Chain A
Amino acid sequence: MAGIDHAPPPFFKRGPAPLALLTFYIAVSLAIFVLDLRFKSLDLLRQSVALVVDPVQRVAQTPGSLVDYAAGYLRGLQALQQENQELKHSQLATAPNLQRLAQLEVENERLRKLLSVKEREKANGQVTQILYTARDPFSRKIIVDKGQQAGVVAGQPAIDETGVVGQVTRVFPFSAEITLITDKDQVVPVQIVRSGQRSVVFGLGNGQLELRYMPANADIQVGDVLVTSGLDGIYLPGFPVAKVVNIERDSAYSFARIFCVPIAGVENFGEVMVLDPRQPMPPPPPAASGRPGSSADQPGLRSKKKKLSGKEN
């Protein structure tokens, strides 16, 4: 009995015990979960994995886009002609305003100079194609086809033809992720067009937005349009964001619950325009959802801007 050795013979190679491996992998998973969620320090890892995964993902989207293409092809001449007609009509309808826009902008610039106010920033940007909606069912994000190679940086706002869609939150080499304004707790600083009152609008995660912290007796009505106020240094002022659809005034609470729907086709597929970052360059969004309102160093930026405009005069 004494001579029996209980160690396994060396030719059956065995790795670490399954339980040890499990502990190791779970520890690593939880560590990167916390690091990514709380500290945002794994962007390089994400970008390098995305470099491999992104082409595969684009290939997987091809059947869907082929179906779309075929549907568009089969829609027929009639429908296309009708759409063309409508587009021509709408172009003509907006023509008077557009034709005078150039003249108005020059006039505005001149008047602003007379009043010695800083010039309005021009909205420039690049058109991007929406590749696909991110699969994560817990958030509302879309992936567009321009990334670091096209000069997209995190924090840039994205609009479509009717209003604000969202904000670029992650940038990959050949694509970028836009968090929609309807994502949970995504914040946009807004101004009510009718009353000029400023506030912030929060995404609810169910396709609606909520105007929070408005007093129960605030001057707000169903149908009011909210536009970006531009106070955040990220969104240019004046882009339509949402429309008020429902107001619940409960005397038990000091704030009214005001629900809005986005004006832009936030959940539609198509093209969006990623606007160039405002001058001076806004800091990268501090949270995953890119909360423009919660940036700590906003006042500093604005005071710097004021100083600059003061120097010019």
Chain B
Amino acid sequence: MQPTFSSSRILLPVRPWFIFFSLIAAALLNFMPTAHWPGVPDWVALVLCFWSIREFRRVGMGWAFVLGLMMDVADGAVLGQHCFAYVLLAYAASSLSRRILWFPLVQQALQVMPLLVATQVLQALMRLAVGADFPGWGYFLGPFVATLLWIPLTFILLLPQYQPVDQDPNRPI
């Protein structure tokens, strides 16, 4: 069976302020005290990955770098740790974007999973290499939860771009 681009709906163009708003909201979610629970995903990485795939012309490595720097300071981590991982994530996501968007949502999620896992593993490797303590396996649970969230996230973040379903019957197209 040939894979097809399953979404037949034509989307409106994205509004830049909505991208900005969603990334800030993701950062806010990251700053919440729930971040210490095991399995809570890295929201910024997830939303950044989403926009890098959907709108790789607008959200790219520059955004990833700035957001990474912000997360480094907010976490009290070593500067550059999140920057490095996010920049690589943005690069991989944007270069794979045409391929990933071809698949239906469930398969998209499966293709995104390695990227998110790699982001987390890369950060752990960077810190372990310079003598930090192993944070426990709960740390690596986040990306898998994030994968499960890919489908609802796509729905929510594309909401402002959906056109109304009932169209004018007299319209030529």
Contacts and interface: CB of A to CB of B under 8 A. Distances in A.
Interface of A: 18, 21-22, 25-26, 28-37, 42, 45-46, 49-50, 52-53, 56-57, 59-61, 63-64, 132-139, 141, 143, 170, 177, 184-185, 205-206
Given A36-B79, A45-B79, A57-B74, A205 B133 contact: yes
Contacts, number: 118
A50 B80 contact: no
A4 B123 CA distance: 48
Nearest to A32: B80
Nearest to A206: B133
B87 A22 contact: yes
B99 interface: no
9 contacts: A18-B61, A21-B91, A26-B87, A28-B65, A29-B84, A30-B84, A57-B31, A60-B32, A137-B136
A25 B61 contact: yes
Contacts of B29: 60
A170 B84 CA distance: 23
B107 interface: no
Contacts of B135: 137-138
Interface string B63-74: 011001110011
The interface residues of chain A, by DSSP majority, are classed as helix
Nearest to B32: A60
A131 B23 CA distance: 24
B7 interface: no
A52 to B, nearest CB: 8
A33 B129 CA distance: 12
Contacts of B33: 61, 63-64, 132
Given A61-B33, A135-B74, A138-B127, A25 B83 contact: yes
Contacts of A143: 76
B144 interface: no
Interface string B125-142: 011001111011001000
A229 to B, nearest CB: 26
B32 A29 contact: no
A33 B31 contact: no
B58 interface: no
B40 to A, nearest CB: 10
B88 interface: yes
The interface residues of chain B, by DSSP majority, are classed as helix
Contacts of B87: 22, 25-26, 29
B65 A25 contact: yes
For the complex of A and B, the 9 pairs showing the least CB-CB separation, nearest first, are A33-B80, A60-B31, A205-B133, A134-B76, A29-B84, A137-B135, A138-B132, A36-B79, A64-B33
Contacts of A31: 80
A137 B70 CA distance: 16
Contacts of A46: 73, 79
Interface in B15-41: 24, 27-33, 35-36
A56 to B, nearest CB: 7
B25 to A, nearest CB: 10
B76 A29 contact: no
A24 to B, nearest CB: 8
Nearest to B94: A18
B163 interface: no
| A56, A141, A170: residue with the most chain B Cβ atoms closer than 10 Å | A56
A49 B69 CA distance: 8
Contacts of B132: 138-139, 184
B32 A37 contact: no
A42 B32 contact: no
Given A46-B79, A137-B139, 6 more contacts: A28-B83, A36-B80, A135-B36, A137-B136, A139-B133, A143-B76
